[in-house]
A and B are shown apart, each in its own frame.
Chain A
Amino acid sequence: MSVVSMDKSPSVAEPAVVLASKPQNPQVEALLLFLRNGTAALGLSMMAIIVVMCLIGPGLYGIDPYAIVNVPFAPPGTPGALFGTDFLGRDILAGVLIGGRPTLIVGCVAAAMTIGIGVLIGCMAGYFGGWIDRALMKFTEFFQVLPALLLAMVIVSIFEASLLTITLAIGIVGWPQAARLTRAEFLRIRDLEYVRATRTAGARDFYLIFNTILPGALPPIIVASALTTGGSILFESGLSFLGLGDPNMMSWGVMIGQNRNYLLEAWWTVSIPGIAIFLTVLAISLIGDGINDALNPRMRKR
C-alpha cells in the first residue's frame, strides 16, 4: 500500500530513472570517478610535472644552483640564465628546480606524520570515549591553543635546523585537526549497525578500530590528508622564508627569504620561487577537491 507515505515534493535534482547499476566495488568506483574528474586530472598532471622536474630537472639543466654563474640581478631572459640570477649571481632556474626537493619531502613526510598522530589519537578518543576521550581531547585542545608556527620556530631553533627537525616540528604542531576529524567520524560510525554486529560477534577492540571502523572513516581523512600536505608545504616554506630552514639546502622558501630585501630591484628573484610554491600547493588542493568529489558523488551537484 503506497497511500500512507510521507508526501515529499518531487525534487528536481533527482533523476527520473533510478539507474539499476550493479553494486560495484566502491573503491574501484571512487577511483574511476576520481580519474574522470577534470579538476583531479588537472591537479594530478600538474603534480606529476612538478615532481618529475624536481627529480630529473637539476640533472638535465646542469647548472649548479649554489654557484655564482653570472652577474647579480641579471633579469630573466639573460643568455645562460633563463629566469635571471639572484643577489649573488646564482641561477634562479637551477634554484627553483633543486629547491622543490626539500619542500616536497618535508611537506609529504610531515603530512604523513600529522595524519598518523591525528588518526591514532582520534581513533582512541572516539572509540573508547569516557575519560580516555576527555583526556585526549584536553591534550588536543592544549596543542590547538599553542600558536603552531611559533612553537615550530622554537623547536627548530632549540634542536638545530635540519630536514628532520623541521619535519618533526611540523608533525608535532599540526595533528590536532586530524585528531578532531577522526574522532568525529568514529563517534558517528561507532554505533552503526554493522559495527554493533561485529562487536556482538566477539571482535577485539584492535580489530574493531582498524578493520571495522577506520575504513568507514577514511574518506574525509583522505581529503584532509591532501589539505594537510598543502598546509605542510606552506609551513615549511614559511619556516625557510624566516631563515629557520636547513641552512645547507636551497629551497623555495629560502630563496624568497634571502632575496626579499632586493624585491624592488629584482622582482624575479622573489616572484618565481613563490610561483613554484603556489603551483605545487594549488595542484595538491585540486587533487584534494577531486578526491572529495569522487568520494562524495552527491556533493558534486553543489
Chain B
Amino acid sequence: MSTAPLLEVTDLVVEVDNGKRILPVLDGVTFSVDAGRTLGLVGESGCGKSMTALAIMGLLPQGFRVKSGDIKLDGKSLLSMGPDALRKLRGSVMSMVFQEPMTSLNPVFTVGDQIGEALRLHEHLNAADARTRAIEMLRAVQIPAPEERVDNYPHQLSGGMRQRVMIAMALACRPRLLICDEPTTALDVTVQAQIFSLLETLQKEMGTSIILITHDLGAVAEMADDVAVLYAGKRAEAGPVATILDNPSHPYTRGLMSCTPRLRLGSAALTPGHTLAEVRGMVPPLGQFEAGCRFSPRCPMADAHCHAAPPPDVHLGASQTVLCWKVTQEQAA
C-alpha cells in the first residue's frame, strides 16, 4: 500500500445556512480510500454520512457549503476544480448509488435510456452503441432478460431490480470511485445480500473503490476493508475493519456493534464488561451539539472532563484513530 490513496478527505468542514444562522454539519472529517478497496462510512441518521458523500460528488444541496478542508481524487483537489470540470468527473470517474431505488430513477424514461445517458455523455457513444452497452450492464448486474428489460420503465421493476439498475447506471462508465449511500436500506433482507455480493463481484472485475455508507456494522464487516465511524459531524473512530471490530475503542462504536445482532456475540466475548444493550438517546439536531465531546450526553462512561472540552484524535497502534477522552486518559496512564 505504498501508492497514494485514490480519495483523500482531509479536515472537511461543511456548514449550512438555514436563513437564520449558520450551523455546522461536518466538522473536521478525515479519511481516505485506496484503489480497489472498500471503506465503510458508519453512523446513525443525521451524523453527516450522506452529506460527506454529496460533498465529495459536489452535489451539496442549496444552503450547504464546504467551509474548509480538502477532498482529493487521484491527487487532484475536487474543491478547487471549476463546476464544469467537476461535472465531467461525475458519472465517469466517480459515481453514486442512492438510498431510495423507488424514487431515484426518472419515471418517464426507460432504464436503457437512463443507463445509456451517462455513456452518451462521457464516452460519446451513439444511441445504438449506448443501448448495447446498457444491455451489457443490465446483464452484469444480473437482471434476467436484459434485452427486454432495457425498454422497461422504472415502475415496471421491483425495488431490488431498480437498485440493480441504479448500480448499472453508476458503473456504466467504469468509475474509479463508487459511493453507495445505504444501497440496501429500502430493500428486503434477502435482496440486500444479493446486492452486496453483486457489488463485490463488480468491484473485483473493475477495480473500483467503494465507499459504503450504512448504519449496519454487519454490512461493513462483510463488505468493507476499512471503516470510519461518524457521530454528529465528527469522525469518532477509524481504521481497518478487522482492527475496529476486534477492538472497538470509542463507546459509540461499541454501542453500534451491540446493536448489530450478527456481531454481538463476537464483540461481547472480546470486550466483556463493556457491552451495551443499546445506545440511549438520539443524535442531537444540528446546532445543538455539546461544547465538550459531542457524544458525552449519551455516553455511559462520560465524566465532567468529557462534558467540558472536545477530545483530540488519538492514534491506537498503526492504523486506528479514536476521538475519546477515555482513550486519551488510558494512553496517558
Contacts and interface: CB of A to CB of B under 8 A. Distances in A.
Partners in one complex: yes
Interface of A: 1-10, 12-13, 16-17
B282 A16 contact: no
Interface stretch (B46-54, B119-127, B235-243): B46-54
A4 B184 CA distance: 13
Interface stretch (B156-164, B285-293, B321-329): B285-293
Contacts of A3: 44, 215, 255-256, 259, 278-279
B45 A8 contact: yes
B182 A9 contact: no
Given A2-B281, A7-B49, 11 more contacts: A1-B279, A2-B282, A3-B44, A3-B256, A7-B50, A7-B213, A9-B61, A10-B286, A13-B18, A16-B23, A17-B288
B25 interface: yes
B259 A7 contact: no
Majority-rule SS of A interface residues: loop
Contacts of A4: 215, 259
B167 interface: no
A13 B25 CA distance: 15
Given A7-B50, A10-B46, A1 B259 contact: yes
A13 B64 CA distance: 12
Interface of B: 16, 18-19, 23, 25, 44-46, 49-51, 54, 61-64, 99, 181-182, 185-186, 213, 215, 255-256, 259, 278-279, 281-283, 285-288
Nearest to B45: A7
A5 B44 contact: yes
Nearest to B100: A6
A6 B18 CA distance: 23
Please provide the 10 A-B residue pairs with the shortest distance between their CB atoms, ordered closest to farther.
Answer: A3-B259, A7-B45, A1-B278, A9-B50, A12-B63, A16-B285, A12-B18, A16-B287, A2-B282, A5-B45
Contact of B215 (A7, A13, A16, A17): A7
B279 A16 contact: no
Nearest to B23: A16
Contacts of B64: 12
Nearest to A11: B61
A123 B51 CA distance: 47
A12 B45 contact: no
A10 B233 CA distance: 12
A8 B19 CA distance: 21
Contacts of B213: 7
B230 to A, nearest CB: 11
B215 A10 contact: no
A12 B61 contact: yes
Contacts of B63: 12
B50 A2 contact: no
